[in-house]
Structure 1
């Protein structure tokens, strides 16, 4: 099952995001094929304000565990993390 991790940064936390970003990117790369897509949300000026991460996991609890291991989460960057089951219908390269 696929899960969307919808992460909202705490206010005024851009520097924390920038400082933690290399570890976050390495963490995501370490997920291998379980990671389907990822990228930051941007405000109107182009500054990063959160993250969208799409992962494959056995359950919502497993997706939650992955989200809690993210260096961004460990650093306290996120104000909130919403986890939603997601069905990739359009332009899914793995669909038959």
Structure 2
């Protein structure tokens, strides 16, 4: 099952995001190599700077998706003000064999 992990950064935490980005990218690259990551990227503010994240993963259940979200270095660094995890159904423009 697919899960959308919707994260909103704490105000004034851009430097935390920038400092933690290399380990966050390594983490997502590992999920990608395992076939768990479907897509990901930052939400951007009006100024073009990141202010949150959208990560879509395939997981057996909500508990597994929660564990993936908790293991993200951004979460460990205390970047996020909120994290919402929702089951998600990829209907339009889904790659074959999703």
> What residue ranges of structure 1 are gaps of 5+ in the alignment?
none
Partner of 1:25: 25
**1: CA distance between counterparts of 2:97 and 2:76?**
34
Alignment of 1:54-73 (within 5 A): 54-73=56-75
1:50 paired to 2:72: no
SS at match of 1:83: strand
**1: CA distance between counterparts of 2:89 and 2:38?**
12
Q: How many pairs are equivalent?
A: 96
Q: Give me the TM-score of the superposition, normalised by structure 1.
A: 0.97
Once the two structures are superposed, residues 24-69 of structure 1 have per-residue CA deviations (whole angstroms, 9 ceiling, x without a partner) of 0000010121100000000001010000000000001100000000
Q: Give me the TM-score of the superposition, normalised by structure 2.
A: 0.95
Q: Which portions of structure 1, spanning 4 or more consecutive aligned residues, are displaced by more than 3 angstroms?
A: none
Deviation at 1:95, TM superposition (A): 4.4
Deviation at 1:94, TM superposition (A): 2.7
Please provide the CA RMSD for this pair: 1.1
Partner of 1:16: 16
